[in-house]
Amino acid sequence: MPMARKNRASSYWGGPTFLILFLVLIVSLIISTGKGYIKISPSTVVDILYRGIIGELPDKGTNLEINYYVIWQVRLPRILTAMVVGGSLSMAGVIFQAILVNPLADPYTLGVSAGAAFGASIALLLNIPFLGIYSVSIFAFFGALLTLVAVIFLSSNSGDISSNNLILSGIIVSAILAACISFIKYIADERVSVIIFWLMGSFNSKTWIEFFVVSISTFIGFLISFYFSRDINLMTLGDRSASALGIRPSRLRIILLITASMITAVSVSVSGIIGFVGLVVPHLMRFIIGPDNRKLLPVSTLAGAVILLWADTITRAFLPREIPIGVLTALIGGPFFCFIFKRRKNIGFYG
């Protein structure tokens, strides 16, 4: 039994599991950077990464120069963005499950994804030019933000916010937005394929700018939620007990709700809707290191990064034809989730 370790309360951030995942992440990054149309050996990848970091450009006209360009201009931004988005979705999943006290919640439960999809669909439908290539992302972000405001408004009851109200409001708002998106697709004619393609998610042609934007939001989100990670544990006991243990449940729920929704909104704006990562990874990690959020948050963030990095590498470099990443994660994540859910349910891991 993984849970039976003694004095678990005394170690934070996940100890050995964290270190192992960190190593796996670094190795994965190096291997995956070498994969693709042009194959590059891991040692060359390390050499090129090193050169890039110390700022030493390879000689002009050499093979190394081409590889240098491929890695630093094309592959790294994409791979790193996939990594950070994976981490942020998993982290948001942990937060949503904990504050909604519901192991079936995920970053999209409150309709953030539907809001982003709606915003993006409008931008794609109207083909809005004035914000350049980022107009879709910006519309998606504000769509998500407005949805969040609507959901919080719907579910608040004289200052108190209960998790059930939040989940219900999220479902209602998502359903309305889904209808709106269907309508947009219906009137979009030939642009409908662009919308559908965006909605299924992709890391194709991501740039350093997108990487920095998601990294900053993920980093800030991590600091906030890790700071509150012990308080989040108390939410498990219910609002009343948490209250008697020195927590203000409604306030904490709002702070974390906004934090997790913001990082989700940024991720979705950058990469489209990538499902199942935020649901499956927290479950898998809880299975391995237990439900203590002080460990679960860092460990899930790393695991999510590893998993989405590989999912993206599979579609980018191994499949004969690139399939949308959101489809791939659902195809792998869905059955996998069924498997762990069934297995763990049998031995009582879920209530």
Partner 1 sequence: MDKVILALNKLTFNYGNNRVLNNISLDFEKGKFYGVLGPNGCGKTTLLDIIIKYKVPVSGNIKIKNKYIKEYSNEEIAKTVSIVPQDFYINFPFTVENIIWMGRYPYIPRFSSPGEENKEIVDRVIEDLELCDLRNKLITKLSGGEKQRVVFARAIAQNTPILLIDEGTSNMDIRHSIYILNYVKNLVKNYGKTIIAVFHNLNLASLYCDNLVFIKNGHIIASGKTEKVFCKEIIEDTFDVKCHIYGESSTGKKQMIWNIQ
Amino acid at 287: F
Contact status: 102 vs partner 1 (CB under 8 A):
yes
Contact status: 44 vs partner 1 (CB under 8 A):
no
Which structure tokens are listed for 351?
């209530």
Contact status: 7 vs partner 1 (CB under 8 A):
yes
Amino acid at 134: Y
Contact status: 247 vs partner 1 (CB under 8 A):
yes
Contact status: 342 vs partner 1 (CB under 8 A):
no
Which structure tokens are listed for 207?
């740039």
Pick from 331, 334, 212, 338: nearest CA to 270: 212
Question: Strand, coil or helix: what is 258?
Answer: helix
Contact status: 283 vs partner 1 (CB under 8 A):
no
Secondary element (H or E) of residue 156: strand 156-157
Are the CB atoms for 184 and 121 separated by under 8 Å?
yes
- Residue 191 vs 344, nearer CB to partner 1: 344
DSSP state letters, 115-127: HHHHHHHHHHHHT
Mark the segment that binds partner 1 (CB under 8 A) among 5-13, 38-46, 64-72, 330-338: 5-13
Task: Tell me the sheet residues that pair with 157.
Answer: 160
Q: How many Å is the Cα radius of gyration of the chain?
A: 21
CB of 126 to partner 1, least distance (A): 43
Mark the segment that binds partner 1 (CB under 8 A) among 36-44, 186-194, 237-245, 254-262: 237-245
- Residue 109 vs 215, nearer CB to partner 1: 109
Contact status: 162 vs partner 1 (CB under 8 A):
no
Which structure tokens are listed for 212?
């920095």
- Residue 146 vs 288, nearer CB to partner 1: 288
Out of 286, 302, 305, 329, the only residue in the binding site for partner 1 (CB under 8 A) is: 286
Amino acid at 306: V
Rounded CA gap, 322 and 267, in Å?
A: 20
The contact set with partner 1 (CB under 8 A) reads 1, 3-4, 6-10, 12, 98, 101-103, 227, 230, 233-234, 236-241, 243-248, 286, 290-292, 347-351
